[in-house]
Structure 1
């Protein structure tokens, strides 16, 4: 049975009921890989959930890093969100155009900044549209709202921490990429990266956590997917993927089943795969 939770996941029905709440803020965090041939900002301008602001994960990021959309400094996060009219006391709902793809990344980013009142819209914009719910093409009227953040450092891991965890084997490193990319039999979409995975990591393809309509599977099914991948849920977990986007789907799924000792490797394979000094494994999980 699905349970709406404003701190993790809410249904389209829940959002429709709360859409006019004065302290609700909706974010369109759609983001696409180049091969998808879609422009998120153009799609937003053509139509979005009423009142939604566009959240650009490439803009709300650390411009000092050469890696894609790394988590921004708290000051930049605060300034960007204030400019969107999002601040303290707001309940935020974030969605994307694919149902469940980039929105969990923004959910995780809010959590990293100490903001807990955020949920992903289950099934995203595709489900909202399929149900014939209202759509508009106007930009919302934005009023500045003060925001305070308190960065939660335990929710993010860097390459040194991930390398140590992989060697000590005291933490489950879980990779959200496709089985072929994990095994190293499919090329990486970013040039210059080696193929394969972090030694000792487990593979939970993010698509396996989703139902056919792009919604997150129920809790029993989520646990079964992690179990089938050989993940020991009694250990702390680090999620990873290509560039830190779909890894957040794994983080959201674990949060839904009550597992809270998880963090996300922000650099992910865009970082690990680029450094020749870091070990790489190929084939299925060990």
Structure 2
């Protein structure tokens, strides 16, 4: 895999490259009171289009921001002026928080070259680099979606993993939620974790809004008992920070990493799900 990260210096040098599409993927938990799209309209990186994680999603399920069909995805991002052959650079205004979810989504839909801006909008702004306001109006493009099922896991496949151990399950939620000591932010969900899963909170793979180094990440995963040479599936609350840990695993050298799209919102909301605590 090509390095999934780009630096602000690299982006500044390539802002006018016609083959690069810049995507603002800012998204926040409801309790923060922040709205990604509203902030985008006020100020965004030059030329960036906005990807709504809750909008470009499966509307037939009550689960939050699940992957849409490849056809719906292709139509939505084509309207944003994005082709599957572009170099797609995704960022968010929290540093590295929601951008990895969109990085993973594009890859799951067959995009050939997707990167994440390390440090995101906050680093770009701290360096006094240019911004723009309002809605960008790119010409529509054709995104030829080619779904990559190896990057996505569903309830049944993860349930099977609790028996087969064919993949290591890595949980990106905070440790107290993993152990079942703290309630879930979404009501009605069980507390605890998927049996046999390992805890690597997403907050631990970043520092100051940037991903930690490959060496630091390898040490972090090793300490948590995660063998990066084995197939892995990541999970979290709703599939967002699971993608952050998936990105960190890629940087650490993991070659086979999938994301459990439904994550704990699905698992902890089902009466037939086995749950461990502690």
TM-score (norm. length: structure 1): 0.95
1:224 aligned residue (219, 223, 226): 219
Distance (Å, rounded) in 2 between the aligned partners of 1:98 and 1:218: 19
> Does the 8 Å contact 2:86/2:112 carry over to 1?
no
Q: 2:256 — aligned with what? A: 261
- Runs of 4+ aligned residues of structure 1 deviating over 6 Å after TM superposition are none
Q: 1: distance between equivalents of 2:238 and 2:189? A: 12
Q: 1:111 is paired with a residue of what secondary structure?
A: helix
- 1:250 matched to 2:241? The reply is no
Partner of 1:202: 198
Alpha-carbon distance between aligned partners in 2 of 1:220 and 1:14, rounded to the nearest angstrom: 22
Alpha-carbon separation, structure 2, partners of 1:71 and 1:144: 22
How far apart are residue 170 of structure 1 and its match? 2.7
* Residues in 2 aligned to 1:176 and 1:19: alpha-carbon distance in whole angstroms: 32
Deviation at 1:114, TM superposition (A): 1.1
Q: Measure, in 2, the Cα distance between the counterparts of 1:138 and 1:39.
A: 15
> 1:181: Cα distance to partner?
0.6
Aligned pair partner of 1:112 in 89, 108, 111: 108
Pairs within 5 Å for 1:105-254? 105-211=101-207, 213-254=208-249
Shift of 1:88: 3.5
Work out the CA distance in 1 between the residues paired with 2:97 and 2:218.
19
Task: Give 5+ residue unaligned stretches, structure 2.
Answer: none
| 1:27 alignment partner, SS class | strand
TM score, norm. by length of structure 2: 0.97
Counterpart Cα distance in 2 of 1:67 and 1:85: 28
Q: Which moved more, 1:229-238 or 1:181-190?
A: 229-238
Q: Structure 1, residues 42-84: CA drift from partner, whole Å, max 9, x if none?
A: 1101100010001001111111111100011000110001110
Query: What corresponds to 1:71 in structure 2?
Result: 67
Cα distance change, pair 263–50 in 1 and its aligned pair in 2 (3 A):
same
**Cα shift readout 1:5-40 (whole Å, capped 9, x = no counterpart):** 865110111111000111211110000001111111
Whole-Å separation in 1 of the counterparts to 2:209 and 2:193? 26
Q: What residue number does 1:35 align with?
A: 31
Asked if the contact 1:96/1:103 (under 8 Å) is kept, the reply is yes
String of CA shifts for 1:75-99, please: whole Å, max 9, x gaps.
Answer: 0110001110111331110001100
Greater CA drift, 260-269 or 164-173: 164-173
Figure out how many residues of one structure are paired with residues of the other and give that number.
278
Distance 2:172 2:155 in 1: 17
Runs of 5+ unmatched residues, structure 1: none
